[in-house]
């Protein structure tokens, strides 16, 4: 490095400064206060965080809040409610009541893990649990679609109801895929977005298919 | 826990232990000092005694240090082993692809190569094959749902995943073993990649024929699409093998397994719908066939409800 040969610090300028890293000095007090605060405050804070994330999924903007403070409460609630609603809906309800719940659970979590691993292997910058969090929260439109389908099926199971269900499920599937893509595709190198979007598309497609072909007894 | 730590309290039997002798000597010296000194210095003596902590104290400190060291070593070893085996970066080179490359390879998998005297290049990539296997699982699920397949032991999803992954991994391993016996120049990753891309033909065939239910259409697709992808795989393998018998063994096995798998996928998960069509063709009801040709999606629901109605009346 030839250009650095003439760099020199003159002797009479004292080098001074602070070496201490400014850590939030009130953090011990914070820890103290979250330990001592009433349970209602803790629960309300967590519920507000979960609620804020739901709003983010409803209006997918490129914000980093969903990614920064990840939590898995929302995905768990959505997964369990979806699995409960999908129960008992095939030819032999006696045989398929149990496995139906486990099936949905396994599909959602196994699928989310595979997509996360895939995006990490393709060179993504997002962490494992952040990706799980985003994929889980973006199941929300499909849960809403399941609710709507169940209500429509209460009215009857003809061709008209099938077309309504098809439109609703299709719209929600598109919304889910777009919402999760808005969060996940940013963490990829720009020319490989399609490689990450395809498994997400397939994942939500399988869930949408399970919702669409659900026929109650 | 005391199991990993050398328990020095149990070494009382080793009379030659220098620690013990030292400790005893010190203890005796301390006692003599205390006896000799006046009561005014008893406080200092006690303090010194307290610092020395007696014989048990020395053993306890040593034991604690040894325990600490063993914990550090164990932790270092465990974290090293974890970072070595749980590192997904081992798989990273196999996922280094661009979308255009994947598209090109998908299309190439249907085009048989002509030059079999020169070893053909196989890309050792796992993204495309993995995505194709998952797509096949999704298509299989669709086929099973529309044909109302009743799976008694296990679940729909488990069967689909098990079948597709079992085929991809199992047949790849078997073909790799055969290739090893027949001296073909192919690695395991290349074999996985080749077979995975061969599933593209299966995906197309099943996607079309699960929606349009015609025996003859399926057979045409089986021969043409399945045949093309088989020919491609066979040609690549032949270009990497020397000797007529070996080529015959390898290619015959691969062709048979590939084509039979497609046949199996179609018939195993589709027989209920075939049965319905047969009963419908019996009493001469051609309008249903025409509906199946025009609007496949709605016709499934209509077919299923009609089939249930017929089953109830029969």
Q: Which chain B residues in 276-305 lie under 8 Å from chain A, judged by CB atoms?
A: 297-298, 301-302, 305
Sign of CA dihedral B192, A200, A99, B268: negative
What stretch of H or E contains B198?
A: helix B188-209
Question: How long a stretch of residues is chain B?
Answer: 314
Residue A37 falls inside a structural domain: no
DSSP 8-state secondary structure symbol assigned to residue A16: -
Query: Distance from first CA to last CA of chain B, Å, rounded?
Result: 73
Dihedral angle over CA of A180, A185, A186, A190, nearest 10: -160
Both tokens assigned to B159: 């069967």
Structure confidence at residue B211 as a pLDDT band (50, 70, 90): confident
Burial of A128 (0-12, 13-18, 19+ CB in 10 A): middle
The residues near B298 (Cβ < 8 Å, ≥ 6 apart) are A159, A162, A163
Q: Of the candidates B97, B134, B298, which has its C-beta nearest A199's C-beta?
A: B134
Q: Alpha helix (H) ranges present in B86-209?
A: 99-108, 127-146, 156-181, 188-209
Average pLDDT (B232-256) is 92
Q: A111-115, A117-121, B3-7, B200-204: which range is least confident on average?
A: B3-7
Cβ of A121 within 8 Å of Cβ of B134? The answer is no
Structure confidence at residue B2 as a pLDDT band (50, 70, 90): very low
Q: What is the tens place of the pLDDT at every residue in B99-126?
A: 888 999 999 888 888 887 888 888 888 9
> In whole angstroms, how large is the CA radius of gyration of chain A?
24
Does the pLDDT value for residue A193 go beyond 70? yes
Q: Is B153 left (phi over 0), alpha (psi -120 to 50) or beta?
A: beta
Residue A23: CA atoms inside 13 Å, Cβ hemisphere, count?
7
The three-state DSSP-derived secondary structure of B261-283 is HHHHHHHHCCHHHHHHHHHHHCC
Average pLDDT (B289-295) is 46
Residue A130 falls inside a structural domain: yes
Average pLDDT (A190-209) is 87
Does the pLDDT value for residue A161 go beyond 50? yes
CA angle A175, A181, A187 (to 5 degrees): 160
Residue A188 confidence (pLDDT):
73
How many CB atoms are located within 10 Å of the residue B184 CB?
23
Q: Which domain holds residue A186?
A: 70-88+98-213
Contact B176, B247 (CB under 8 A): no
Least CA distance to B158: which residue of chain A? A103
Residue, of B63 and B51, whose pLDDT is higher = B63
Contact A50, A74 (CB under 8 A): yes
Contact A97, A88 (CB under 8 A): yes
Residue B303 confidence (pLDDT):
62
Q: What is the tens place of the pLDDT at every residue in B157-199?
A: 778 888 899 999 999 999 999 999 998 889 999 999 999 999 9
Q: Could you give the number of structural domains in chain A? A: 1
Residue B313 confidence (pLDDT):
63
Cβ of B148 within 8 Å of Cβ of A91? The answer is yes
Phi, psi of A60 (to 5 degrees): -70, 105
Residue B45 confidence (pLDDT):
44
Please tell me whether the interface predicted TM-score (ipTM) of this complex is above 0.95: no
Does the pLDDT value for residue A191 go beyond 50? yes
Average pLDDT taken over every residue of chain B:
76
Average pLDDT (B23-39) is 62
Sign of CA dihedral B142, B147, B148, B150: negative
Residue A198 falls inside a structural domain: yes
Cβ of A117 within 8 Å of Cβ of B142? The answer is no
Residue A143 falls inside a structural domain: yes
Cβ neighbours of A206 in B, within 8 Å = 138, 141
How many CB atoms are located within 10 Å of the residue B280 CB?
19
Highest averaged pLDDT of the listed ranges A184-188, B20-24, B229-233, B288-292:
B229-233
Residue B256 confidence (pLDDT):
95
Q: What percent of chain B has pLDDT over 70?
A: 62
Cβ of B145 within 8 Å of Cβ of A194? The answer is no
Does the pLDDT value for residue A147 go beyond 70? yes
Cβ of A192 within 8 Å of Cβ of B91? The answer is no
Contact B103, B226 (CB under 8 A): no
Residue A58 falls inside a structural domain: no
Residue A133 falls inside a structural domain: yes
Residue, of B198 and B18, whose pLDDT is higher = B198
Average pLDDT (A191-217) is 85
Residue, of A62 and B259, whose pLDDT is higher = B259
Does the pLDDT value for residue B50 go beyond 70? no
Residue A37 confidence (pLDDT):
79
Cβ neighbours of B305 in A, within 8 Å = 157
CB contact B101 to A (< 8 Å): no
Q: What is the tens place of the pLDDT at every residue in A66-103?
A: 677 788 888 999 999 998 888 765 545 455 444 577 77
Cβ neighbours of B297 in A, within 8 Å = 166
Query: Looking at B36-172, which runs of residues are DSSP E strands?
Result: none
CA distance A88 to A80: 14
Residue, of B275 and A149, whose pLDDT is higher = A149
Residue A10 falls inside a structural domain: no
**Chain center to CA of B162:** 11
Residue A115 falls inside a structural domain: yes
Structure confidence at residue B287 as a pLDDT band (50, 70, 90): very low
Mutate one of A117, A120, A121 to test the B interface: name it (highest B CB count within 10 A): A121
CA distance A153 to A162: 9
Residue, of A62 and B43, whose pLDDT is higher = A62
Whose CA is closest to B168, among B142, B198, B141? B198
């Amino acid at each position: 490095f030839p250009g650095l040969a003439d760099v020199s610090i003159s002797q009479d300028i004292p080098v001074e400064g602070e070496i201490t890293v400014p850590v939030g000095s009130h953090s011990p007090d914070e820890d103290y206060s979250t330990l001592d605060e009433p349970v209602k405050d803790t629960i309300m804070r967590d519920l507000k965080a979960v609620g804020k994330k739901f709003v983010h999924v409803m209006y997918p903007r490129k914000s980093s809040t969903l990614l920064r403070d990840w939590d898995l409460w929302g995905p768990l609630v959505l997964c369990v409610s979806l699995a409960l609603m999908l129960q008992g809906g095939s030819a032999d309800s006696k045989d398929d009541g149990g496995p139906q719940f486990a099936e949905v659970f396994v599909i959602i979590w196994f699928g989310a893990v595979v997509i996360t691993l895939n995006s990490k292997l393709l060179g993504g910058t997002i962490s494992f649990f952040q990706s799980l969090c985003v994929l889980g929260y973006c199941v929300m439109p499909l849960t809403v679609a399941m609710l709507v389908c169940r209500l429509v099926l209460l009215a009857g199971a003809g061709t008209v109801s099938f077309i309504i269900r098809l439109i609703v499920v299709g719209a929600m599937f598109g919304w889910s895929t777009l919402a999760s893509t808005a969060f996940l595709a940013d963490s990829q190198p720009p020319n490989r977005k399609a490689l990450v979007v395809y498994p997400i598309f397939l994942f939500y497609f399988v869930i949408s298919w399970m919702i669409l072909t659900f026929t109650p007894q | 826990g005391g199991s990993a730590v050398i328990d020095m309290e149990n070494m009382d039997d080793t009379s030659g232990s220098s620690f013990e002798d030292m400790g005893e000597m010190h203890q005796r010296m301390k006692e003599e000092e205390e006896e000799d000194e006046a009561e005014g210095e008893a406080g200092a003596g006690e303090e010194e005694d307290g610092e020395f902590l007696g014989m048990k104290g020395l053993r306890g400190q040593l034991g604690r240090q040894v325990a600490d060291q063993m914990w550090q070593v164990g932790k270092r070893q465990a974290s090293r082993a974890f970072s070595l085996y749980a590192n997904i970066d081992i798989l990273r080179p196999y996922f280094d692809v661009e979308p255009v490359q994947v598209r090109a390879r998908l299309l190439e998998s249907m085009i048989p190569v002509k030059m079999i005297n020169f070893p053909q290049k196989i890309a050792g990539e796992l993204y495309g094959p993995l995505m194709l296997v998952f797509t096949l699982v999704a298509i299989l699920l669709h086929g099973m749902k529309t044909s109302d397949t009743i799976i008694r032991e296990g679940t729909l999803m488990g069967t689909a995943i098990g079948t597709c992954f079992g085929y991809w991994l199992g047949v790849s391993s078997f073909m790799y073993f055969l290739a090893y016996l027949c001296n073909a120049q192919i690695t395991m990753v290349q074999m996985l990649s080749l077979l995975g891309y061969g599933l593209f033909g299966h995906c197309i065939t099943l996607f079309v024929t699960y929606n349009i239910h015609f025996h003859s259409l399926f057979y045409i697709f089986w021969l043409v699409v399945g045949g093309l992808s088989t020919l491609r795989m066979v040609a690549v393998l032949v270009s990497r093998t020397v000797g007529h018998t070996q080529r015959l063994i390898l290619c015959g096995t691969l062709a048979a397994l590939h084509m039979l798998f497609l046949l199996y996928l179609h018939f195993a998960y589709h027989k209920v719908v075939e049965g319905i069509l047969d009963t419908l063709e019996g009493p001469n009801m051609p309008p249903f066939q025409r509906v199946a040709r025009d609007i496949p999606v709605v016709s499934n629901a209509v077919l299923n409800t009609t089939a249930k109605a017929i089953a109830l009346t029969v």
